[in-house]
């Protein structure tokens, strides 16, 4: 099976480089956490993978598909969920899922069944006909996640997926992500909550000034950092040069 995501020599500059000759590989069946300080280039990288930004140079392959040469095929198996939920305030969750399923060309029958399954799973079934404008941040985040999962993507890209979620919802989302990975899909996420990366990620990439400065499991990262670095937070601060 090809790797879920292969990024090679990826660069993007807005005057100064935001992503600089980035190389990164995410295997199928892996949850990969991309960490870095603010402005390190995490979101820019993910937006290029999702097809929202055109890279200046470099290549992106998603499950063997060249995302720059055949963006439609790559988008078909990818889902993107940013930190600000992509929702229509005046649509209900059911109507929103119908629209997203249509965009990804999911057949109406299976799409409806999957929408019901997702909304029940995420605890939104009772609110399925309520407009999203009245939802809390967490409910909006869960609706957007249901939208990202409606077409059963093989690669799920999440930017700060746990922002605004309460403990129960955060646990639910973590369980969903782990299940996706166990099913052979791949998840790439950014997070500022290092504990999430520490507990969930199979591998962690640390990005700084648009370049990958370290990559590996938590143990591998610890080994590469100074001796006193015991937690991921220590490793992160050490590698990003942000230690006090």
Residue 5's closest CA among 66, 47, 70, 69?
66
From the list 107, 227, 228, 244, which residue makes contact with another protein (rule: CB under 8 A)?
107
Task: Decide if residue 14 touches another protein (CB under 8 A).
Answer: no
Does residue 105 belong to the site contacting another protein (CB under 8 A)? yes
Judged by beta carbon, residue 130 or residue 209, the one nearer another protein is: 130
Q: Report, in Å, the least distance between residue 30 CB and another protein.
A: 21
Query: How do beta strands 203-208 and 211-216 pair?
Result: antiparallel
Q: With contact defined as beta carbons under 8 Å apart, do 191 and 42 qualify?
A: no
| Binding status of residue 111 toward another protein by CB under 8 A | yes
Q: Count residues contacting another protein (CB under 8 A)?
A: 39
How far is 162 from 198, CA to CA, in rounded Å? 14
In the complex, what is the shortest distance from the CB of residue 99 to another protein, in angstroms, rounded to a whole number? Answer: 4
Using CB under 8 A as the binding rule, whether residue 99 contacts another protein is answered as yes
For residues 185, 9, 43 and 115, what is the CA-based torsion angle, rounded to 10 degrees?
-20
Q: Chain-centre distance of CA 113, in angstroms?
A: 24
Does residue 98 touch another protein according to CB under 8 A? yes
**Between residue 186 and residue 205, which ones bind another protein under the rule CB under 8 A?**
none
Q: What mask, x for binding another protein by CB under 8 A, covers residues 124 to 153? A: ---x-xxx-xx------------x------
> Within positions 38 to 77, which residues make up the interface with another protein, using CB under 8 A?
50-52, 72-73, 75-76
Residue 134, token pair as written in the block? 């009245």
Site membership for another protein, residue 112 (CB under 8 A): yes
Asked if 34 is part of the footprint of another protein (rule: CB under 8 A), the reply reads no
Asked whether 42 and 212 are in contact (CB, 8 A), the reply is no
Q: Of residues 42, 80, 145, 189, which one binds another protein by CB under 8 A?
A: 80
What separation in angstroms does the CA of 91 have from each of 47, 98, 116?
A: 25, 10, 16
Q: Binding segment for another protein among 14-22, 35-43, 86-94, 165-173 (CB under 8 A)?
A: 86-94
Binding interface with another protein (CB under 8 A): 50-52, 72-73, 75-76, 78, 80, 82, 86-92, 95, 98-105, 107-109, 111-112, 115, 127, 129-131, 133-134, 147
């Amino acid at each position: 099976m090809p790797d879920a995501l292969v990024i090679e020599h990826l660069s993007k500059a807005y005057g100064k480089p935001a992503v600089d000759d980035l190389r990164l590989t995410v295997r199928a069946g892996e949850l990969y956490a991309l960490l870095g300080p603010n402005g390190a280039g995490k979101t820019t990288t993910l937006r290029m993978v999702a097809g929202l930004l055109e890279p200046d140079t470099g290549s992106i392959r998603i499950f063997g598909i060249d995302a720059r040469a055949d963006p439609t095929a790559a988008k078909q198996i990818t889902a993107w969920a940013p930190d600000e939920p992509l929702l229509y305030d005046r649509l209900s969750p059911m109507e929103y899922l119908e629209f997203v399923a249509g965009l990804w060309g999911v057949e109406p029958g299976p799409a409806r069944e999957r929408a019901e399954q997702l909304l029940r799973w995420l605890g939104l079934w009772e609110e399925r006909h309520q407009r999203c404008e009245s939802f809390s941040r967490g409910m909006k985040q869960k609706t957007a996640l249901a939208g990202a999962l409606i077409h059963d993507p093989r690669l799920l890209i999440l930017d700060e997926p746990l922002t605004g979620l309460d403990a129960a919802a955060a646990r639910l989302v973590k369980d969903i992500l782990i299940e996706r990975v166990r099913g052979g899909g791949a998840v790439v996420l950014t997070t500022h909550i290092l504990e999430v990366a520490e507990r969930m990620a199979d591998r962690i990439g640390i990005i700084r000034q648009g370049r990958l400065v370290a990559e590996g499991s938590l143990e591998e990262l610890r080994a590469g950092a100074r001796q006193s670095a015991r937690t991921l937070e220590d490793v992160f601060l050490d590698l990003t040069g942000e230690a006090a």
